[in-house]
Amino acid sequence: MTVNLLEFDSEGLASFCEGLGEKRFRATQLFRWIHQRGATGFDEMSDLAKSLRDKLSGVAEIKALPVISEQVASDGTIKWLFDVGGGDAVETVYIPEVDRGTLCISSQAGCAVGCRFCSTGHQGFSRNLSTAEIVAQLWYAEHELRRRAAPVGGAADGTRVISNVVMMGMGEPLQNYGALVPALRVMLDDHAYGLSRRRVTVSTSGVVPMIDRLRDDCPVALAVSLHAPNDALRSDLVPLNRKYPIDELLQACTRYLEKAPRDFITFEYCMLDGVNDTAEHARELIALVQPAGREGVSCKLNLIPFNPFPESGLKRSAPDRVQAFAHRLQEAGIVTTVRKTRGDDIAAACGQLAGEVQDRTRVETRRVRAPIRSQPAAPALQGPRV
């Protein structure tokens, strides 16, 4: 069986080359060919010893994911659907902006967390992606977009297209930790994509022990999907909260900040009409992140207008409601932004990624189908014990 070299970070590739009886520095050349040049075959690696090329062609390959479809939104957002086998397919989204290009990458086929407002969560869970499958999304997007940017008939000049990566596609990245970390290392590696830690963001629904491990193993920018200012509501929206309640989550955020590349955590808050968007919820949220008498978590709030999908039974908060909520947080001195919805005409916006997932957890039969009710904020304002 051949090994897919997209599976390796530079250390892994060096060990693999050593196993072939080669010097470790050869691995750096190979790594650059794969990730900086987008090489697909060993023949084109002209400065690599012929003996190594011969050895590699017998045991290794650079295997991309088959593209099932590509859709381009009116705002230039591109969504690819990649086949990962076994009836599963995952989505990757490229979001062009004036000063950056962001790639939103999937980490799992489906997701086992099952948040009520998330299309991926509604589909259930099939399996974790491998490091190669995570990296292949970036490898393909970067080199494909470079080719398209090249002058007609000319070669791509190697100028980077993707400047930021967000692990905000399908899946909970911190429930696929073993595959995630080598993939992050490839993104950061100067011999590969050379992205700065500040421009690689892991978004999590709050897997507390893995937040601690990420801090020690590979601290990148962290976004935490908060979505509610109290445990009762958060447990309803994000079931993982029953295992790791808000208090523990905020303490993990504080610990993460000791090594984080940015001096704040981004809290994501999906704005759901009548569910978590009232003035009382805003007050409760402020008290949560700025508890009286002690230090809170250094954070920014990113409000995401809910992107609807048919099965959710939820509605997006009206724009003036979102603005009023944002205003209340800003008045309290919390840096708050409202996320622009991108690519919603091709269902590429946050939470709309559904791909194709063979649910192996029967999430739909387990799910409590009770319609969500509007919930008042809890009367007692309890902050975290930090």
- What's the CA gap between 235 and 268, in Å, rounded? 16
Q: Which stretch binds ligand SF4 (CB under 6 A): 41-49, 113-121, 149-157, 184-192?
A: 113-121
Q: How many residues bind ligand SAH (CB under 6 A)?
A: 15
Of 136, 110, 105, nearest in space to 125 by CA: 110
Residue nearest to ligand SAH (CB): 351
Q: Does 121 bind ligand SF4 (CB under 6 A)?
A: yes
CB of 140 to ligand SAH, least distance (A): 20
User: Which residue reads 């100028």 in tokens?
Assistant: 159
Please answer whether residues 148 and 158 qualify as being in contact, where contact means their C-beta atoms are separated by less than 8 angstroms: no
- Report in angstroms how near the CB of residue 119 gets to ligand SAH at its nearest: 6
Using an 8 Å Cβ cutoff, are 363 and 122 in contact? yes
Contact call for residue 203 and ligand SAH (CB under 6 A) = yes
114 binds, among ligand SAH, ligand SF4, none (CB under 5 to 8 A by kind): ligand SF4
Least CB distance to ligand SAH at residue 100 (A)? 18
DSSP code of 5?
A: G
Footprint of ligand SF4 on 258-297 (CB under 6 A): none
Q: How far apart are CA 298 and CA 313, in angstroms?
A: 33
Q: Is 120 near ligand SF4 (CB under 6 A)?
A: yes
Question: Does residue 258 carry a catalytic annotation?
Answer: no
CB 195 within 8 A of CB 165: yes
45, 109, 111, 252: which one binds ligand SF4 (CB under 6 A): 111
- Please, which of residues 289-308 interact with ligand SAH by CB under 6 A? 304, 306-307
In order of 6, 29, 146, 147, 317, the CA distances from 159 in angstroms are 21, 19, 7, 10, 40
* Annotated catalytic residue, options 91, 172, 268, 284: 91
Which strand (E) or helix (H) includes residue 92? strand 88-96
Quick one: which of 103, 111, 110, 109 has its CA closest to 79?
103
Interface with ligand SAH, residue 246, by CB under 6 A: no
Contacting ligand SAH (CB under 6 A), which of 14, 118, 228, 297?
118
When asked if residue 113 is in the footprint of ligand SF4 (CB under 6 A), the reply is yes
Using CB under 6 A, which of 4, 26, 34, 114 touches ligand SF4? 114
Q: By CB under 6 A, is residue 94 in contact with ligand SAH?
A: no
Handedness of CA 29, 31, 33, 35 (dihedral sign): negative
Contacted entry of ligand SAH, ligand SF4, none for residue 304, CB cut-off 5 to 8 Å set by kind: ligand SAH
The Cβ of residue 179 has, within 10 Å, a number of other Cβ atoms equal to: 19
User: Looking at 36, 137, 225, 241, which residue binds ligand SAH (CB under 6 A)?
Assistant: 225
Residue 248 annotated in active site: no
| Contacts made by residues 272-275, CB under 8 angstroms, sequence distance 24+ | 272/117, 272/237, 272/306, 272/314, 272/315, 272/316, 272/317, 273/306, 273/314, 273/315, 273/316, 273/317, 273/318, 273/321, 274/315, 274/374, 275/233, 275/237, 275/314, 275/372, 275/374, 275/375
Residues carrying an active site annotation: 91, 350
Binding site for ligand SAH (CB under 6 A): 117-118, 168, 172, 203-205, 225, 268, 270, 304, 306-307, 350-351
By CB under 6 A, name the binding residues for ligand SF4: 111, 113-115, 118, 120-121, 171-172, 205, 225
